[in-house]
Amino acid sequence: MIDIHCHILPGLDDGAPDIDTSILMAEIAAESGVTDIIATPHTNQAGRFENYASPATDAVFSALCGEIASREIPVRLHPGMEVYGSGMVPEMLRDGKLVTLAGSRYFLIEFGFRDDPDRMEGILDGLLEAGVVPVVAHPERYELIQDHPNRLFRWASRGILLQSNKGSFTGFFGRKPRELAFAMAARGLTAFVASDAHGWEHRTPALDGVEEILTLEFSGETAKRLLYDNPLKVLRDEPVRYGNIRPFR
């Protein structure tokens, strides 16, 4: 399996606080069947987690890659970011301050949990105009999207990709995110499921549990598509396309 959203880089955000935690996370991921992880520290959170593209963030990434290799943990790390959606994001992308997932056309973006869907859509429009494919992180957790889920159908119809968290399927984030995550998957609106891991004890990078849930509730083919096939297309910078998608009623 391939995890496209994971806060494994040490000391950059509210994920792994140190390299020892990062190593534990890599081991847990490998034991669960994960072969590749895109490291996605929170970025563009002003005054909190900025983490723009720089030699300093590159050095943290390279150091962790070296440590994983030296310990012979069978996980490959790839660079990325989870970018907070402000109005300046398209411009910052063009200026080279932000990076895509594994150097691909795919760009992971998150929004505030009570953000205005119209504002979200304006930023997504700007990213499409900038020539990248937006991947919206955990839309099932956004409160106003929960109230108006057909926004997701509209976005997916335009080629915007939706990434759900494994914790939404397990109920970790509560009833509403769980219900919407399942409803999205049932309608073909989910492009990826990822760990959004922040540590090794609670929000971990193990994906075998959600693989089992997806297999039992939908099919083995669905689990493979969301946890391996589509993420592999990101690593290869190949087109990710939805199949038959259905709106909410």
What the chain holds in terms of domains, given with CATH numbers, is 2-236 (3.20.20.140)
* Phi/psi-derived region of residue 10, left when phi > 0, alpha when psi is between -120 and 50, beta in every other case: beta
Residue 217: what pLDDT? 98
The token pair at 114 is 């009570």
**Residues 95-122 pLDDT 10s:** 999 999 999 999 999 999 999 999 999 9
Strand ranges in 34-175 using DSSP code E only, listed in sequence order = 36-39, 42-43, 76-79, 82-84, 106-110, 133-137, 161-165
**Residues 194-233 pLDDT 10s:** 999 999 999 999 999 999 999 999 999 999 999 999 999 9
Q: How confident is the model at residue 47 (pLDDT cuts 50, 70, 90)?
A: confident
Backbone angles phi, psi at 45, to 5 degrees: -95, 95
Average pLDDT of the residues in 150-161: 97
The token pair at 223 is 């689990």
Residue 90: what pLDDT? 94
